Amino acid sequence: MEAQDRSKRVLAALVREFISSGEPVASSLLVSAAGLGVSSATVRSILARLEEEGFVQQPHTSAGRIPTDRGYRFYVDLLLEVKRPNRTATAVEARLRRESPDRLLDSMLPQVSHVLSQASRSVGFAVGPAHEVAVFDRVEFVPIAAARVLVVIVARGGHVVQKVIDTGEPLGADDLRQAANYLNAEFTGLPLHRAREAVLERIQAERLLYDALLARAMRLATSTFSDFPDDRMVYVEGTSSLLEDGSGLTLGTLQMLLQMIDEKQTLVRVLNEYIDGPGLTVVIGAEHLDPTLRPFSLVASTYDDGAGTGTVGVIGPTRMRYSRAIAVVDGAAQAVSRLLRDPN
């Protein structure tokens, strides 16, 4: 058996044992758990090498090893690589058919978050597609004082939002009309939250705008879209699961996560940062862009209702049962897609 293959089997066995017990894993236990038929000394040598490479660490001199975030990443990639047929989707779909007989998204998603939380013993969430939110139709700028402008935003369906902004400079009616024409041409048809993101992307991509009209329009757009949240449907369940003994999380860490979950649109923003296409996304510990989320792992997947995509997933400690979380999240996404696209 090649040394590299032995290292992989030892590491996979160590991660499984630690997830199961929450205790540092001794080399003597791995002799049988990895099924290698080698001595404890050989396993200790493999563990020392894995520690040097950053896959495991030893919390105390006399203790066994525990996986690092890099070790968890190896394990998750292994699970995804040898992915087996997912029977969870059928069970989730049957449950949703029973509990959401109308097949409507706003009655189905709460059930999905509940199923995910129960199955994973973590926080389960379900987010509606972007097309469910207000879509930008047009904007009008009305001068009301030297440097103050009334902004009138009209969304599809006739929804109107008004706000007053300070432009920082006097702008005439012609300037405002030209800026509105430019923004309407560029952003009409986008969800309001996506229009806001597109403005920020445009500003970052064109930091030096030589055209005065474009520069003015972008400044106005920044003020116009700054206060609009991504108001997609968001359902979260299972926060109490993180308070159970054995999670290994401090009270302060839990409070930060619970605050993010309570401000549900923050969760949507985090998902927007990670998910750039269909399928599963797994973010582990130190891979999070936000340092406050690094004690946690996120498993998410997209579903498709025929007009757009939404997201379902779970959040839990890095020591989560990844095989179960991946199976139930992937299964739920498949089930929701089928029910929304073919409700019969």
Q: Are 340 and 105 in contact (CB under 8 A)?
A: yes
Three-state DSSP state, 254: helix
- Assess whether 333 and 242 both reside in one domain: yes
Among the candidates 176, 194, 225, a domain finishes at: 225
Q: Could you read off the pLDDT of 19-52 as tens digits, one per residue?
A: 998 899 988 888 877 677 778 888 899 999 999 9
Q: What Cα–Cα distance (Å) separates residue 285 from each residue in 68, 254, 294? A: 9, 14, 4
Q: How far apart are CA 80 and CA 84, in angstroms?
A: 9
- Assess whether 122 and 140 both reside in one domain: no
What domain count does the chain have? 3
- Assess whether 125 and 236 both reside in one domain: yes
Q: Are 69 and 318 in contact (CB under 8 A)?
A: yes
Which range of residues forms the domain containing residue 268?
Answer: 88-130+232-341
In this prediction the pTM is 0.71
- Assess whether 238 and 125 both reside in one domain: yes
Question: Tokens 């402008």 appear where?
Answer: 149
Q: Which of 110-124, 155-169, 205-219, 312-326 has the lowest mean pLDDT?
A: 205-219
Q: Are 238 and 123 in contact (CB under 8 A)?
A: yes
Residue 45 covered by a domain: yes
Residue 317 covered by a domain: yes
Residue 19: which of 6, 7, 33, 40 has the closest Cα? 33
- Assess whether 105 and 238 both reside in one domain: yes
Share of the chain above pLDDT 70, in %: 85
- Assess whether 66 and 109 both reside in one domain: no
Among the candidates 181, 200, 225, a domain finishes at: 225
- Assess whether 221 and 337 both reside in one domain: no
- Assess whether 247 and 121 both reside in one domain: yes
Which residue type is seen at 231?
A: D
Three-state DSSP state, 129: coil
Question: Tokens 């997830």 appear where?
Answer: 19
Q: Are 126 and 310 in contact (CB under 8 A)?
A: yes
Q: How far apart are CA 125 and CA 205, in angstroms?
A: 33
- Assess whether 124 and 150 both reside in one domain: no
Q: Could you read off the pLDDT of 176-208 as tens digits, one per residue?
A: 888 889 888 888 888 776 777 777 777 666 554
Among the candidates 191, 225, 259, a domain finishes at: 225
Instruction: Report the CATH number that the domain containing residue 110 is assigned in CATH.
Output: 3.30.450.40
